[in-house]
Amino acid sequence: MNAQAQRVLKKKRIGVLWGGTSREREVSLRSGKNVLVALQRRGLNAVGIDVDAEIARNLRNKKIEVAFVVLHGKPGEDGTIQGMLELMGIPYAGSGVLASALALNKLASKKIFCQEGITTPPYAFLPRNDSTSIPSLTKRLGLPLVVKPLEEGSSYGVAILHKSREIVPSLRKQHREYGDLLAEKFIPGMNATVGILGCGLTTRALPVLELVPKKEFYDLEAKYTPGLTEFVIPARLPKRLYQELQDQALSAHHALGCHGFSRVDAIVDMKKGKAYILEVNTIPGMTNLSDLPAEAKAAGISYDDLVLEMLESALKRL
């Protein structure tokens, strides 16, 4: 953060918005408390606010002038809280209403990736009242098949289906619990993630992080249980493929109109030498086990400096 931005923010009362009611509440609390401590360590006037139905009143009562949203899932990553902050005239860090909504909705982001020439696995939309023919689905996408909720994060509801007979019962269960779904062609390969940081000309890709889960894939348990996933950074990729992945991640960030920071998840088919973008996360985890802080550390950016640069993105809207 430059000196001028720091002087401006030291005069502001900053609200770290955490918690909420999504399935990712507990992770949000952990992320938010880490962010709050980092801001306070740097001498900023910051307070934490648990988001509930009284959030607008609480923001007014606590005289919040700048918001740092650390809400994972809805209503933090779908543009809802951002829209409310804009109506209240409170600048906030990170992506705006439209980019947030597009990124959380996997179908919308997939369509944009395809339009912009960003490589992503072939997919099919499976609405709640879907009557998709299973043979046509498997013919199009093959087996194994990846099925995921349309608007969830942290790998909630993600399933890898290996046999045709698993598909119907799995879809029924997931439709009941999550509503609309997205099916993707399974791409075997390296799990990787790329942090994006900065605004305007300073926007850049951080070092690529290779994730080596001890489970079948990088699911919720693997993400937040110490010892279940090995972090390798920089990722063990050929130079050309490494650069291609960073470039594609930046393209995905820009294609959705993201602002300030994001984390782009990908899978790399090592045999074909091809990187596939899966999704963009506009509010990345900020826990001790999260990807973005690890990528920033590899780039020589401390946790506190990362948080400050993320917060500075709020000033870019003023």
Alpha-carbon gap, residue 1 to 260, rounded angstroms:
12
224 is catalytic: yes
- Non-local (6+) Cβ contacts of 89 within 8 A are none
CB 316 within 8 Å of CB 95:
no
Q: Three-state DSSP class for 170?
A: helix
Q: How far apart are CA 111 and CA 93, in angstroms?
A: 26
For residue 7, count CB atoms less than 10 angstroms from its CB and return exposed for 0-12, middle for 13-18, buried for 19 or more. exposed
Are 181 and 150 in contact, with CB atoms under 8 Å apart? yes
78, 151, 180, 265: the active-site residue: 265
The one catalytic residue among 263, 290, 309, 313: 263
* Rounded CA separation 122/110 (Å): 9
Contact predicate 224/279, CB 8 Å: no
Is residue 47 within a helix (H) or strand (E), and if so which, with residue range?
strand 45-50
What does the block give as tokens for 152? Answer: 């969830």
Q: Which listed residue (22, 34, 109, 154) is catalytic?
A: 154
Helix (H) or strand (E) holding 278: strand 274-281
- Confirm whether 285 is a catalytic residue: yes
Known catalytic residue at 116: no
Helix 97-104 vs helix 80-88: crossing angle, to nearest 10: 170
| Among 219, 279, 295, 309, the one annotated catalytic | 279
Q: Is 279 part of the annotated catalytic residue set? A: yes
Active-site residue, from 31, 34, 281, 290: 281
Is 123 marked active-site?
Answer: no
DSSP string for 77-97:
SSSHHHHHHHHHT--BSS--H
Omega prior to 238 cis, within 30 of 0: no
Q: What residues act catalytically? A: 24, 154, 224, 263, 265, 279, 281, 285
